[in-house]
Amino acid sequence: MPTFALRSLRLIGRLLAALAAVMAATVLFLVSIVLTDGAASGFAAWAATLALALAVAFWRSRRRARAARLVPFVPVLVAAALTVTVCVPTVSTTRRLPPDLPFVATDHWSLSTGSRVAVYHYPPTGSGPRHPIPLVYLNGGPVRGISVLDHRFLRLLAGRGYDVYTYEQAGGGRSDLLPMGEYTISRSVRDLGAFVQRLGKGKADVLGFSSGGALLTRALAEPSVAARLHRAVVAEPGPMDGPTAKLGGHKGRPSARGLAPAMTGPRSTRVPRYAVTFGLMRLGLLSPGTGLVGQAEGVNAFTAADLGSDTASAYCARDAHRIPTEDTADNFSFSAAASLHIQQTVKDSPSIAPQLRRSKTPAMLMIAECSSQIRQWETTVLATDLAVQRTQYMPGVGHHMWNGLDGDNDRAAAVITAFLQDRPAPLPNYPTREQIPAFLSEGR
């Protein structure tokens, strides 16, 4: 074999060996991140990995000629430079609150639970009758700021004579953070009860959407909180307890997931530090309270584009190329860590079915045709809560039923206001409890 070919093969072999060493050190670093739960912003894992890699490089260099003794250290330095990017913040590590919205005042209420939440009030407007019972909205997330799209819908309800209040749950939007361990579904239920009490207007009607619907379902099963509720609208709820979360099944008609153009804008998940953190957290390999990225930094880093196809899954497939902009970059706020912590407390919770069966609060269930929720999460509420008086299957809409498209806001408002005023439903009562088996078997 020609000398040039031999040299080329040796060079390729050395490069492959160096690449393998870099990859081995990187994998060791990631394992150390998991084992230490990201302690000291990841520097504990980085220092341990670097020390071990340097020891191996020193051992390998002992038998080399003096001129070649530094070669084993090159992959170590490359790996150290790559992995240290996971340890260095690129956004502020102190909480950066969104600016106030131009169309509604932001108040801050300290609740009896210890939570301090951002509150928004839309007084009744329009020329029609005023409804004496306040309406409280619980947004999805669970620890997410209220989107501009939702604010528009709340203004629509206020224009129909409703006294609308909403608040961003602790840790979300402009509300104060909690210690990570205090983000639990039980705390969220207590916060709702404390909020209605703080209103000081007697009982309130409550509209809960998505995870807000799951929160409202649990509130209906808690007598001390349910006593403060007049009527409940549970829209597209997530799982209500651990047994429900374990249910398998199908979703609604096809959504726009995988069909819609990719969301534009900056993504924290393209930055090594946050890609590693959110990725390992989602896999359950890092705890929500990880020392790698603090809670405030995580909220500051997460962007709307990081939601990826989750946003598209809230719309029907036919709407894939006209999905509205749900929020502004300034107003968007989401705490992935706190949300995962609350979701885990739901998964770990025992069945609330016995308590929910005793609920006396009149309730309505709203189900979207192109729902991205497991159908059994929704039908379990209907089957268990005997106080659910009607179900409204919303044709032509996805999970986010009030989306500003094709009069969908007006249709959703008509369904909600008819129930709150105890008027005939604009849509058939479907499915009923007796129709649940057929509803599921038909793949609706």
* Cβ atoms of residues 363 and 233 within 8 Å: yes
Which token pair is 421?
Answer: 């005023």
Res. 9 pLDDT band, cuts 50 70 90: low
Give mean pLDDT, residues 285-295.
96
Whole-number pLDDT of residue 216: 98
Inform me whether the pLDDT recorded for 7 exceeds 70: no
Name the CA radius of gyration of the chain, rounded.
26
Q: What is the CATH number of the domain that holds 217?
A: 3.40.50.1820
Query: Per mean pLDDT, which range of 56-70, 207-221, 408-422 is the poorest?
Result: 56-70
Average pLDDT, the chain: 94
Whole-number pLDDT of residue 67: 63
* Cβ atoms of residues 95 and 296 within 8 Å: yes
Q: Are residues 326 and 429 in the same domain?
A: yes
Whole-number pLDDT of residue 6: 61
Helix (H) or strand (E) holding 34: helix 3-36
Q: Are residues 65 and 135 in the same domain?
A: no
In-domain check, residue 293:
no
Give mean pLDDT, residues 147-156.
98
Q: Are residues 214 and 170 in the same domain?
A: yes
Whole-number pLDDT of residue 73: 83
Give mean pLDDT, residues 41-52.
95
* Cβ atoms of residues 382 and 251 within 8 Å: no
Token pair 């106080």 in the structure block, residue: 387
Q: In this structure, are strands 388-398 and 204-209 parallel, antiparallel, or unpaired?
A: unpaired
Whole-number pLDDT of residue 70: 77
Instruction: Show the DSSP H helices in 206-335 as ranges.
Output: 211-220, 223-226, 242-245, 272-282, 295-301, 309-312
Q: Are residues 53 and 113 in the same domain?
A: no
**Within its chain, how far is the Cα of 143 from the centroid?**
6
Q: Are residues 254 and 323 in the same domain?
A: yes
Whole-number pLDDT of residue 308: 85
Q: 330 φ, ψ to 5°?
A: -70, -35
Res. 378 pLDDT band, cuts 50 70 90: very high
Inform me whether the pLDDT recorded for 160 exceeds 80: yes
Inform me whether the pLDDT recorded for 62 exceeds 90: no
Q: Are residues 223 and 149 in the same domain?
A: yes
Q: Are residues 252 and 186 in the same domain?
A: yes
Give mean pLDDT, residues 43-50.
95
In-domain check, residue 98:
no
Give mean pLDDT, residues 318-342.
96
Domain of residue 395 covers: 107-262+313-333+342-441
Inform me whether the pLDDT recorded for 411 exceeds 60: yes
- Give CA separation, 85 vs 46, 48, 274, 283, 406, in Å: 10, 16, 10, 21, 46
Domain boundary among 56, 86, 116: 86
In-domain check, residue 299:
no
Query: Among residues 229, 117, 216, which one has the least CA distance to residue 171?
Result: 117
Whole-number pLDDT of residue 13: 67
Q: Are residues 49 and 112 in the same domain?
A: no
Instruction: Show the DSSP H helices in 304-388 as ranges.
Output: 309-312, 336-347, 353-356, 375-384
Percent of the chain with pLDDT over 90: 86
State the Cα–Cα distance between residues 45 and 50, nearest whole angstrom. Answer: 8
* Cβ atoms of residues 325 and 260 within 8 Å: no
Whole-number pLDDT of residue 64: 72
- Give the helix, strand, coil percentages of the chain, each rounded to 5: 45, 15, 40
Whole-number pLDDT of residue 229: 98
Res. 8 pLDDT band, cuts 50 70 90: low
Half-sphere exposure of 420 (CA within 13 A, CB side): 28
* Cβ atoms of residues 392 and 425 within 8 Å: yes
**Within its chain, how far is the Cα of 350 from the centroid?**
22
Whole-number pLDDT of residue 5: 62
Give mean pLDDT, residues 165-179.
97
Q: Are residues 196 and 327 in the same domain?
A: yes
Q: Are residues 76 and 113 in the same domain?
A: no
pLDDT tens per residue, range 200-221 = 999 999 999 999 999 999 999 9
pLDDT tens per residue, range 239-283 = 999 999 999 899 999 999 999 998 888 999 899 999 999 999 999
User: Would you mind telling me the total number of residues written for the chain in this entry?
Assistant: 444
- pTM assigned to the model: 0.93
Q: Are residues 177 and 82 in the same domain?
A: no
Res. 351 pLDDT band, cuts 50 70 90: very high
State the Cα–Cα distance between residues 71 and 21, nearest whole angstrom. Answer: 12
Query: Among residues 331, 311, 333, 329, which one has the least CA distance to residue 320?
Result: 311
Res. 14 pLDDT band, cuts 50 70 90: low
Q: Are residues 358 and 224 in the same domain?
A: yes
